[in-house]
Protein backbone atom coordinates (compact mmCIF):
# COMPACT_ATOMS: atom_id res chain seq x y z
CA UNK A 1 0.00 0.00 0.00
CA UNK A 2 0.97 3.58 -0.51
CA UNK A 3 2.12 5.68 2.42
CA UNK A 4 -0.93 7.41 3.93
CA UNK A 5 1.10 10.59 4.55
CA UNK A 6 1.74 11.17 0.84
CA UNK A 7 -0.52 13.74 -0.80
CA UNK A 8 -2.30 12.48 -3.86
CA UNK A 9 -2.96 15.93 -5.35
CA UNK A 10 -0.51 17.31 -7.93
CA UNK A 11 2.41 19.15 -6.30
CA UNK A 12 3.56 22.59 -7.57
CA UNK A 13 6.30 22.70 -10.21
CA UNK A 14 9.74 22.30 -8.73
CA UNK A 15 12.55 24.82 -9.28
CA UNK A 16 15.62 23.98 -11.31
CA UNK A 17 17.64 21.21 -9.61
CA UNK A 18 15.27 20.93 -6.64
CA UNK A 19 14.07 17.49 -7.72
CA UNK A 20 11.19 15.47 -6.29
CA UNK A 21 10.33 12.11 -4.80
CA UNK A 22 7.27 9.94 -5.39
CA UNK A 23 6.03 6.50 -4.49
CA UNK A 24 5.61 4.15 -7.39
CA UNK A 25 2.73 1.71 -7.91
CA UNK A 26 4.98 -1.16 -6.82
CA UNK A 27 5.52 0.51 -3.43
CA UNK A 28 9.08 1.63 -4.02
CA UNK A 29 10.19 5.28 -3.86
CA UNK A 30 11.62 7.13 -6.88
CA UNK A 31 13.94 10.15 -6.77
CA UNK A 32 13.91 12.32 -9.89
CA UNK A 33 16.24 15.26 -10.49
CA UNK A 34 16.89 17.65 -13.36
CA UNK A 35 20.67 17.94 -13.90
CA UNK A 36 21.15 20.56 -16.60
CA UNK A 37 21.42 20.25 -20.37
CA UNK A 38 22.72 17.38 -22.48
CA UNK A 39 24.76 19.23 -25.10
CA UNK A 40 24.79 16.23 -27.45
CA UNK A 41 20.99 15.90 -27.71
CA UNK A 42 19.87 19.38 -26.74
CA UNK A 43 17.50 17.90 -24.16
CA UNK A 44 17.38 18.32 -20.41
CA UNK A 45 19.30 15.82 -18.30
CA UNK A 46 17.21 13.89 -15.77
CA UNK A 47 18.19 11.29 -13.21
CA UNK A 48 15.97 8.64 -11.70
CA UNK A 49 16.85 6.50 -8.68
CA UNK A 50 14.66 3.99 -6.82
CA UNK A 51 14.84 2.89 -3.17
CA UNK A 52 12.68 1.13 -0.58
CA UNK A 53 11.77 3.84 1.95
CA UNK A 54 10.91 7.53 1.96
CA UNK A 55 13.80 8.28 4.31
CA UNK A 56 16.24 6.74 1.83
CA UNK A 57 14.70 8.79 -0.97
CA UNK A 58 15.13 12.05 0.95
CA UNK A 59 18.80 11.26 1.64
CA UNK A 60 19.44 10.34 -2.01
CA UNK A 61 17.76 13.54 -3.21
CA UNK A 62 19.90 15.70 -0.92
CA UNK A 63 23.11 13.98 -2.02
CA UNK A 64 22.31 14.19 -5.73
CA UNK A 65 21.26 17.82 -5.48
CA UNK A 66 24.55 18.64 -3.76
CA UNK A 67 26.57 16.88 -6.45
CA UNK A 68 24.75 18.77 -9.19
CA UNK A 69 25.46 22.06 -7.46
CA UNK A 70 29.16 21.24 -7.16
CA UNK A 71 29.64 19.93 -10.67
CA UNK A 72 27.07 21.93 -12.55
CA UNK A 73 24.64 24.59 -11.42
CA UNK A 74 25.90 26.76 -8.57
CA UNK A 75 23.86 28.36 -5.82
CA UNK A 76 25.52 31.72 -5.01
CA UNK A 77 24.29 31.61 -1.44
CA UNK A 78 25.80 28.23 -0.56
CA UNK A 79 28.78 28.00 -2.96
CA UNK A 80 32.05 27.93 -1.02
CA UNK A 81 35.63 28.64 -2.06
CA UNK A 82 36.58 24.96 -2.25
CA UNK A 83 33.83 24.27 -4.77
CA UNK A 84 34.35 27.40 -6.84
CA UNK A 85 38.18 27.43 -6.91
CA UNK A 86 38.39 23.84 -8.12
CA UNK A 87 35.61 24.39 -10.64
CA UNK A 88 37.43 27.51 -11.90
CA UNK A 89 40.67 25.55 -12.29
CA UNK A 90 39.03 22.78 -14.27
CA UNK A 91 36.63 24.86 -16.37
CA UNK A 92 38.68 27.97 -17.10
CA UNK A 93 42.37 27.30 -16.49
CA UNK A 94 43.17 23.72 -17.48
CA UNK A 95 43.02 24.32 -21.25
CA UNK A 96 44.02 28.00 -21.27
CA UNK A 97 47.29 28.27 -19.38
CA UNK A 98 50.59 26.42 -19.40
CA UNK A 99 50.80 23.32 -17.26
CA UNK A 100 53.34 25.02 -15.01
CA UNK A 101 50.90 27.87 -14.37
CA UNK A 102 48.02 25.47 -13.73
CA UNK A 103 50.12 23.50 -11.25
CA UNK A 104 51.10 26.72 -9.46
CA UNK A 105 47.47 27.85 -9.14
CA UNK A 106 46.44 24.43 -7.88
CA UNK A 107 49.30 24.42 -5.39
CA UNK A 108 48.22 27.76 -3.93
CA UNK A 109 44.94 26.14 -2.94
CA UNK A 110 46.28 22.84 -1.63
CA UNK A 111 49.02 24.55 0.40
CA UNK A 112 47.31 27.75 1.51
CA UNK A 113 43.72 28.52 0.51
CA UNK A 114 42.33 25.21 1.74
CA UNK A 115 41.83 26.77 5.20
CA UNK A 116 39.25 29.07 3.60
CA UNK A 117 37.66 26.24 1.64
CA UNK A 118 34.40 26.03 3.61
CA UNK A 119 33.88 29.79 3.51
CA UNK A 120 31.09 30.77 1.14
CA UNK A 121 31.92 33.27 -1.59
CA UNK A 122 29.57 35.79 -0.03
CA UNK A 123 31.61 35.74 3.18
CA UNK A 124 34.99 36.21 1.49
CA UNK A 125 35.18 39.82 2.58
CA UNK A 126 38.27 42.05 2.18
CA UNK A 127 38.91 42.11 5.93
CA UNK A 128 39.03 38.30 6.06
CA UNK A 129 41.44 38.09 3.13
CA UNK A 130 43.61 40.88 4.54
CA UNK A 131 43.93 38.99 7.83
CA UNK A 132 44.77 35.82 5.89
CA UNK A 133 47.59 37.44 3.92
CA UNK A 134 48.91 39.25 7.00
CA UNK A 135 49.16 35.90 8.77
CA UNK A 136 50.96 34.30 5.83
CA UNK A 137 53.49 37.13 5.82
CA UNK A 138 54.04 37.59 9.56
CA UNK A 139 53.70 34.06 10.89
CA UNK A 140 54.62 31.80 7.97
CA UNK A 141 57.12 34.34 6.57
CA UNK A 142 56.07 33.97 2.95
CA UNK A 143 57.85 36.41 0.68
CA UNK A 144 56.02 39.40 -0.81
CA UNK A 145 56.57 37.89 -4.26
CA UNK A 146 54.87 34.62 -3.25
CA UNK A 147 51.98 36.53 -1.70
CA UNK A 148 51.59 38.61 -4.85
CA UNK A 149 51.42 35.47 -7.00
CA UNK A 150 48.89 33.90 -4.64
CA UNK A 151 46.71 37.00 -4.65
CA UNK A 152 46.87 37.21 -8.44
CA UNK A 153 45.53 33.65 -8.77
CA UNK A 154 42.73 34.25 -6.26
CA UNK A 155 41.85 37.54 -7.94
CA UNK A 156 41.44 35.77 -11.30
CA UNK A 157 39.33 33.08 -9.66
CA UNK A 158 36.96 35.50 -7.95
CA UNK A 159 36.83 37.82 -10.95
CA UNK A 160 35.26 34.98 -12.88
CA UNK A 161 32.70 34.69 -10.09
CA UNK A 162 31.95 38.40 -10.53
CA UNK A 163 31.43 37.87 -14.27
CA UNK A 164 28.94 35.10 -13.52
CA UNK A 165 27.18 37.32 -10.96
CA UNK A 166 28.04 35.05 -8.07
CA UNK A 167 29.74 38.05 -6.46
CA UNK A 168 28.97 41.75 -6.71
CA UNK A 169 32.63 42.78 -6.46
CA UNK A 170 36.05 41.20 -6.12
CA UNK A 171 37.27 41.34 -2.49
CA UNK A 172 40.89 40.85 -3.61
CA UNK A 173 40.99 44.38 -4.98
CA UNK A 174 40.95 45.78 -1.45
CA UNK A 175 43.83 43.63 -0.15
CA UNK A 176 47.14 45.39 0.51
CA UNK A 177 50.35 43.37 0.41
CA UNK A 178 53.73 44.23 1.95
CA UNK A 179 56.18 46.07 -0.28
CA UNK A 180 58.57 43.79 -2.06
CA UNK A 181 62.23 44.63 -1.67
CA UNK A 182 64.08 44.28 -4.95
CA UNK A 183 66.49 41.35 -4.50
CA UNK A 184 70.10 41.73 -5.47
CA UNK A 185 70.90 39.54 -8.42
CA UNK A 186 73.95 37.30 -8.24
CA UNK A 187 76.58 38.00 -10.90
CA UNK A 188 80.02 36.47 -11.35
CA UNK A 189 82.86 38.94 -11.05
CA UNK A 190 85.30 39.05 -13.95
CA UNK A 191 87.79 36.93 -11.99
CA UNK A 192 85.09 34.42 -11.02
CA UNK A 193 83.88 34.21 -14.59
CA UNK A 194 87.40 33.50 -15.83
CA UNK A 195 87.79 30.77 -13.21
CA UNK A 196 84.49 29.16 -14.21
CA UNK A 197 85.36 29.27 -17.91
CA UNK A 198 88.79 27.74 -17.27
CA UNK A 199 87.25 24.95 -15.16
CA UNK A 200 84.58 24.32 -17.79
CA UNK A 201 87.19 23.27 -20.35
CA UNK A 202 88.03 20.26 -18.18
CA UNK A 203 84.46 18.92 -18.26
CA UNK A 204 82.47 17.19 -20.98
CA UNK A 205 79.53 19.56 -20.67
CA UNK A 206 81.55 22.71 -20.05
CA UNK A 207 80.76 23.94 -23.56
CA UNK A 208 77.18 24.61 -22.45
CA UNK A 209 78.32 26.71 -19.50
CA UNK A 210 80.25 28.83 -21.98
CA UNK A 211 77.26 28.86 -24.35
CA UNK A 212 75.06 30.17 -21.56
CA UNK A 213 77.58 32.87 -20.66
CA UNK A 214 77.53 33.89 -24.32
CA UNK A 215 73.73 33.90 -24.81
CA UNK A 216 71.98 34.20 -21.43
CA UNK A 217 69.64 31.25 -21.96
CA UNK A 218 67.37 30.00 -19.21
CA UNK A 219 68.29 26.46 -18.19
CA UNK A 220 65.03 25.03 -19.57
CA UNK A 221 65.70 26.72 -22.91
CA UNK A 222 69.27 25.44 -23.03
CA UNK A 223 68.35 21.81 -22.36
CA UNK A 224 65.48 21.90 -24.88
CA UNK A 225 67.71 23.04 -27.76
CA UNK A 226 67.70 20.83 -30.84
CA UNK A 227 70.06 20.91 -33.77
CA UNK A 228 67.17 22.01 -35.98
CA UNK A 229 67.13 25.22 -33.92
CA UNK A 230 70.78 26.04 -34.66
CA UNK A 231 72.02 27.48 -37.94
CA UNK A 232 75.79 27.14 -37.73
CA UNK A 233 76.28 28.48 -41.25
CA UNK A 234 74.15 31.53 -40.51
CA UNK A 235 75.54 31.94 -37.00
CA UNK A 236 72.30 32.01 -35.04
CA UNK A 237 69.93 29.87 -33.01
CA UNK A 238 66.21 29.97 -32.34
CA UNK A 239 64.58 29.48 -28.96
CA UNK A 240 61.39 27.51 -29.57
CA UNK A 241 60.79 25.33 -26.53
CA UNK A 242 61.64 24.70 -22.91
CA UNK A 243 61.93 21.57 -20.79
CA UNK A 244 60.78 21.20 -17.17
CA UNK A 245 59.71 18.56 -14.69
CA UNK A 246 56.25 19.56 -13.53
CA UNK A 247 53.52 18.20 -11.32
CA UNK A 248 50.88 16.33 -13.30
CA UNK A 249 47.35 17.65 -13.69
CA UNK A 250 46.19 14.56 -11.84
CA UNK A 251 48.23 12.06 -9.84
CA UNK A 252 48.84 8.83 -11.77
CA UNK A 253 47.61 5.45 -10.55
CA UNK A 254 51.19 4.42 -9.74
CA UNK A 255 51.58 7.43 -7.44
CA UNK A 256 53.87 9.33 -9.81
CA UNK A 257 53.05 13.00 -9.38
CA UNK A 258 55.49 14.59 -11.83
CA UNK A 259 56.40 14.34 -15.49
CA UNK A 260 58.84 15.82 -18.01
CA UNK A 261 57.12 18.50 -20.07
CA UNK A 262 58.62 19.88 -23.28
CA UNK A 263 56.58 22.88 -24.31
CA UNK A 264 56.79 26.25 -26.01
CA UNK A 265 58.02 29.19 -23.90
CA UNK A 266 55.45 30.98 -21.76
CA UNK A 267 55.54 34.36 -23.48
CA UNK A 268 55.64 35.50 -27.08
CA UNK A 269 58.92 37.38 -26.61
CA UNK A 270 60.58 34.26 -25.18
CA UNK A 271 60.46 32.79 -28.68
CA UNK A 272 63.44 34.53 -30.22
CA UNK A 273 66.51 34.34 -32.44
CA UNK A 274 69.95 34.83 -30.88
CA UNK A 275 73.13 35.49 -32.88
CA UNK A 276 76.13 33.29 -32.07
CA UNK A 277 79.74 34.41 -31.78
CA UNK A 278 82.29 32.88 -34.15
CA UNK A 279 84.00 31.17 -31.25
CA UNK A 280 80.76 29.60 -30.05
CA UNK A 281 79.96 28.37 -33.56
CA UNK A 282 83.30 26.55 -33.62
CA UNK A 283 82.64 25.06 -30.17
CA UNK A 284 79.22 23.76 -31.21
CA UNK A 285 80.73 22.15 -34.29
CA UNK A 286 83.26 20.35 -32.08
CA UNK A 287 80.46 19.24 -29.75
CA UNK A 288 78.53 17.82 -32.69
CA UNK A 289 81.60 15.70 -33.48
CA UNK A 290 81.56 14.45 -29.88
CA UNK A 291 77.90 13.42 -30.27
CA UNK A 292 78.62 11.55 -33.49
CA UNK A 293 81.45 9.70 -31.75
CA UNK A 294 79.05 8.82 -28.90
CA UNK A 295 76.55 7.48 -31.41
CA UNK A 296 79.16 5.32 -33.12
CA UNK A 297 80.34 3.91 -29.79
CA UNK A 298 76.84 3.22 -28.40
CA UNK A 299 75.42 1.69 -31.56
CA UNK A 300 71.78 0.67 -31.24
CA UNK A 301 71.69 1.87 -27.62
CA UNK A 302 72.03 5.45 -28.80
CA UNK A 303 68.82 7.50 -28.89
CA UNK A 304 68.96 10.33 -31.39
CA UNK A 305 66.06 12.70 -30.76
CA UNK A 306 67.93 15.70 -32.11
CA UNK A 307 68.73 17.31 -28.77
CA UNK A 308 71.94 19.33 -28.44
CA UNK A 309 72.65 18.69 -24.74
CA UNK A 310 72.84 14.90 -24.38
CA UNK A 311 74.64 12.20 -22.45
CA UNK A 312 76.72 9.42 -24.03
CA UNK A 313 73.54 7.57 -25.07
CA UNK A 314 71.88 10.57 -26.70
CA UNK A 315 69.33 11.22 -23.94
CA UNK A 316 68.49 14.79 -23.01
CA UNK A 317 69.09 16.13 -19.50
CA UNK A 318 66.65 17.06 -16.79
CA UNK A 319 67.34 20.36 -15.08
CA UNK A 320 68.31 18.87 -11.73
CA UNK A 321 70.74 16.43 -13.36
CA UNK A 322 72.45 19.11 -15.42
CA UNK A 323 72.67 21.39 -12.39
CA UNK A 324 74.80 18.69 -10.74
CA UNK A 325 77.29 19.02 -13.63
CA UNK A 326 77.22 22.80 -13.24
CA UNK A 327 77.82 22.58 -9.48
CA UNK A 328 80.87 20.37 -10.02
CA UNK A 329 82.37 22.98 -12.34
CA UNK A 330 81.73 25.73 -9.78
CA UNK A 331 83.36 23.65 -7.06
CA UNK A 332 86.44 23.06 -9.18
CA UNK A 333 86.58 26.77 -10.03
CA UNK A 334 86.48 27.64 -6.32
CA UNK A 335 83.95 30.46 -6.69
CA UNK A 336 81.35 29.31 -4.16
CA UNK A 337 77.68 28.61 -4.83
CA UNK A 338 75.76 30.35 -7.61
CA UNK A 339 72.42 29.37 -9.09
CA UNK A 340 72.42 28.45 -12.77
CA UNK A 341 70.47 31.64 -13.43
CA UNK A 342 73.58 33.59 -12.40
CA UNK A 343 75.03 32.72 -15.82
CA UNK A 344 72.13 34.58 -17.43
CA UNK A 345 72.58 37.58 -15.14
CA UNK A 346 76.30 37.58 -15.82
CA UNK A 347 75.76 37.59 -19.58
CA UNK A 348 73.40 40.57 -19.27
CA UNK A 349 75.80 42.48 -17.04
CA UNK A 350 78.79 41.92 -19.32
CA UNK A 351 76.71 42.91 -22.35
CA UNK A 352 75.80 46.23 -20.75
CA UNK A 353 79.39 46.81 -19.66
CA UNK A 354 80.43 46.46 -23.29
CA UNK A 355 77.86 48.95 -24.51
CA UNK A 356 74.90 46.80 -25.63
CA UNK A 357 71.73 48.88 -25.54
CA UNK A 358 68.80 47.79 -23.39
CA UNK A 359 66.42 47.20 -26.30
CA UNK A 360 68.81 44.73 -27.93
CA UNK A 361 69.58 43.04 -24.62
CA UNK A 362 65.87 42.69 -23.83
CA UNK A 363 65.30 40.98 -27.19
CA UNK A 364 68.22 38.59 -26.67
CA UNK A 365 67.05 37.67 -23.16
CA UNK A 366 63.43 37.24 -24.26
CA UNK A 367 62.00 39.65 -21.70
CA UNK A 368 58.42 40.81 -22.12
CA UNK A 369 59.45 44.48 -22.05
CA UNK A 370 62.51 46.72 -22.20
CA UNK A 371 61.36 48.34 -18.96
CA UNK A 372 61.65 44.99 -17.17
CA UNK A 373 65.20 44.57 -18.46
CA UNK A 374 66.19 48.04 -17.28
CA UNK A 375 64.61 47.46 -13.88
CA UNK A 376 66.29 44.07 -13.47
CA UNK A 377 69.77 45.28 -14.39
CA UNK A 378 69.58 48.79 -12.96
CA UNK A 379 72.84 48.12 -11.08
CA UNK A 380 74.64 47.84 -14.40
CA UNK A 381 73.08 51.09 -15.54
CA UNK A 382 74.33 52.77 -12.35
CA UNK A 383 77.86 51.60 -13.05
CA UNK A 384 77.58 52.86 -16.62
CA UNK A 385 76.36 56.26 -15.45
CA UNK A 386 79.24 56.50 -13.00
CA UNK A 387 81.78 55.77 -15.72
CA UNK A 388 80.18 58.31 -18.02
CA UNK A 389 80.16 60.95 -15.30
CA UNK A 390 83.84 60.32 -14.58
CA UNK A 391 84.52 61.56 -18.08
CA UNK A 392 83.17 64.96 -17.03
CA UNK A 393 86.08 65.45 -14.61
CA UNK A 394 88.16 67.00 -17.37
CA UNK A 395 85.76 69.94 -17.54
CA UNK A 396 86.55 70.88 -13.97
CA UNK A 397 90.25 69.99 -13.77
CA UNK A 398 92.73 72.72 -12.83
CA UNK A 399 94.48 74.41 -15.77
CA UNK A 400 97.74 72.63 -16.56
CA UNK A 401 99.87 75.69 -15.97
CA UNK A 402 98.40 76.08 -12.48
CA UNK A 403 98.60 72.41 -11.58
CA UNK A 404 101.42 70.11 -10.63
CA UNK A 405 100.63 67.55 -13.34
CA UNK A 406 103.80 68.36 -15.30
CA UNK A 407 106.03 67.94 -12.26
CA UNK A 408 107.60 64.52 -11.75
CA UNK A 409 106.32 62.22 -9.02
CA UNK A 410 108.67 59.68 -7.42
CA UNK A 411 107.99 55.98 -7.93
CA UNK A 412 109.88 53.30 -6.01
CA UNK A 413 110.19 50.04 -7.94
CA UNK A 414 111.17 46.69 -6.43
CA UNK A 415 111.76 43.51 -8.43
CA UNK A 416 110.35 40.33 -6.86
CA UNK A 417 110.16 36.68 -7.96
CA UNK A 418 106.51 37.33 -8.86
CA UNK A 419 107.24 40.44 -10.93
CA UNK A 420 107.56 44.08 -9.93
CA UNK A 421 105.93 46.23 -7.25
CA UNK A 422 105.57 50.00 -7.32
CA UNK A 423 105.22 52.31 -4.31
CA UNK A 424 104.21 55.97 -4.69
CA UNK A 425 105.27 58.06 -1.65
CA UNK A 426 102.85 60.88 -2.50
CA UNK A 427 99.94 58.45 -2.89
CA UNK A 428 100.49 55.92 -0.07
CA UNK A 429 97.14 54.17 -0.65
CA UNK A 430 98.16 53.10 -4.14
CA UNK A 431 99.85 49.70 -4.20
CA UNK A 432 100.79 48.31 -7.61
CA UNK A 433 101.90 44.80 -8.55
CA UNK A 434 102.67 43.86 -12.14
CA UNK A 435 104.48 41.03 -13.96
CA UNK A 436 107.18 43.34 -15.41
CA UNK A 437 108.82 46.69 -14.64
CA UNK A 438 107.35 48.27 -17.78
CA UNK A 439 103.88 47.14 -16.78
CA UNK A 440 104.39 48.52 -13.26
CA UNK A 441 105.50 51.91 -14.64
CA UNK A 442 102.51 52.07 -16.96
CA UNK A 443 100.13 51.19 -14.13
CA UNK A 444 101.80 53.79 -11.88
CA UNK A 445 101.36 56.50 -14.53
CA UNK A 446 97.69 55.62 -14.96
CA UNK A 447 97.08 55.57 -11.20
CA UNK A 448 98.80 58.95 -10.73
CA UNK A 449 96.69 60.52 -13.49
CA UNK A 450 93.51 59.03 -12.03
CA UNK A 451 94.40 60.23 -8.54
CA UNK A 452 95.16 63.75 -9.76
CA UNK A 453 91.71 64.02 -11.33
CA UNK A 454 90.14 63.28 -7.96
CA UNK A 455 91.94 66.14 -6.19
CA UNK A 456 90.88 69.76 -6.43
CA UNK A 457 94.34 70.68 -5.16
CA UNK A 458 96.72 67.80 -5.95
CA UNK A 459 99.64 67.12 -3.58
CA UNK A 460 102.98 68.59 -4.56
CA UNK A 461 105.56 65.94 -5.49
CA UNK A 462 108.10 64.97 -2.83
CA UNK A 463 111.52 66.33 -3.68
CA UNK A 464 114.09 63.79 -4.78
CA UNK A 465 116.55 64.66 -2.01
CA UNK A 466 113.88 63.95 0.60
CA UNK A 467 113.33 60.39 -0.54
CA UNK A 468 115.13 57.49 1.12
CA UNK A 469 115.55 54.71 -1.42
CA UNK A 470 115.38 51.29 0.31
CA UNK A 471 117.75 48.51 -0.60
CA UNK A 472 116.80 46.54 -3.76
CA UNK A 473 114.61 49.45 -4.94
CA UNK A 474 114.92 51.77 -7.92
CA UNK A 475 113.73 55.39 -7.89
CA UNK A 476 111.97 56.65 -11.02
CA UNK A 477 110.63 60.18 -11.48
CA UNK A 478 107.44 60.13 -13.52
CA UNK A 479 105.47 63.00 -15.04
CA UNK A 480 101.74 62.69 -15.28
CA UNK A 481 99.63 64.10 -18.08
Of residues 336 and 394, the one with the higher pLDDT is: 336
Identify the helix (H) or strand (E) that includes residue 23: strand 20-23
Residue 279 banded pLDDT, cuts 50, 70, 90? very high
Q: Do 147 and 108 form a contact (C-beta atoms < 8 A)?
A: no
CA distance 219 to 463: 61
Average pLDDT for 68-75: 56
Range in 27-31, 116-120, 357-361 the model is least confident about: 27-31
Q: Would you state the pLDDT for residue 401? A: 38
For 87-110, write each residue's pLDDT tens digit.
Answer: 999 999 998 988 889 999 999 999
pLDDT of residue 340: 95
**Residue in 218, 231, 225 with CA at minimum distance from that of residue 348:** 218
Find the mean pLDDT for residues 31-39: 69
Report how far residue 289's alpha carbon sits from residue 160's, in angstroms, rounded to the nearest whole number.
Answer: 54
The model carries a pTM of: 0.60
Q: How far apart are CA 267 and CA 434, in angstroms?
A: 49
Helix/strand/coil (H/E/C) assignment for every residue in 234-258: CCEEEECCEEEEEECCCCCCCCCCE
The pLDDT, as a whole number, for residue 318 is 93
Alpha helices (runs of H) in 89-189, residue ranges in sequence order: 99-111, 126-138, 144-163
- Contact (CB, 8 A) for 101 and 247: no
Tell how strand 29-37 and strand 236-239 pair up: unpaired
CA angle 232, 236, 242 (to 5 degrees): 105
**DSSP codes, 60-71:** HHHHHHHHHHHH
3-state DSSP assignment of residue 259? strand
pLDDT for res 473 = 84
Residue 480 pLDDT grade (very low, low, confident, very high; cuts 50, 70, 90): low
Least confidently predicted of 231-235, 298-302, 396-400: 396-400
Q: Report pLDDT for 66.
A: 65
For residues 348 and 441, what is the distance between their CA atoms, to the nearest angstrom? 34
Mean pLDDT of 459-468: 78
Dihedral of CA atoms 294, 296, 302, 306 in degrees, nearest 10, equals 70
For residues 254 and 445, which has the higher predicted lDDT (pLDDT)? 445
pLDDT at 322: 96
Where does the pLDDT of residue 400 fall: very low under 50, low under 70, confident under 90, or very high at 90 and above? very low
Amino acid sequence: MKDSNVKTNKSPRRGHHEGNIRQRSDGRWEVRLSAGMDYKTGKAKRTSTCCNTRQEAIAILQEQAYNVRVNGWRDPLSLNLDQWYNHWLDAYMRDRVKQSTFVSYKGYYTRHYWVLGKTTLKKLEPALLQDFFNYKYREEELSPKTLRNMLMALHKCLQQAVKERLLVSNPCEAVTLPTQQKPEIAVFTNDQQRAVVQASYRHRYGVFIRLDLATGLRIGELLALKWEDIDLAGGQMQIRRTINRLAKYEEAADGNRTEIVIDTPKTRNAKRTIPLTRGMIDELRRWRSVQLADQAAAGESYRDDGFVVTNELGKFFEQRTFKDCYDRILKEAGVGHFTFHALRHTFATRALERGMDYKTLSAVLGHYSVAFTMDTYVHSMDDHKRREMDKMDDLFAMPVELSVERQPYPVLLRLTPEGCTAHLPDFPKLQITAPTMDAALLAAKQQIEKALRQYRYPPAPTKQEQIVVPENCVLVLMKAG
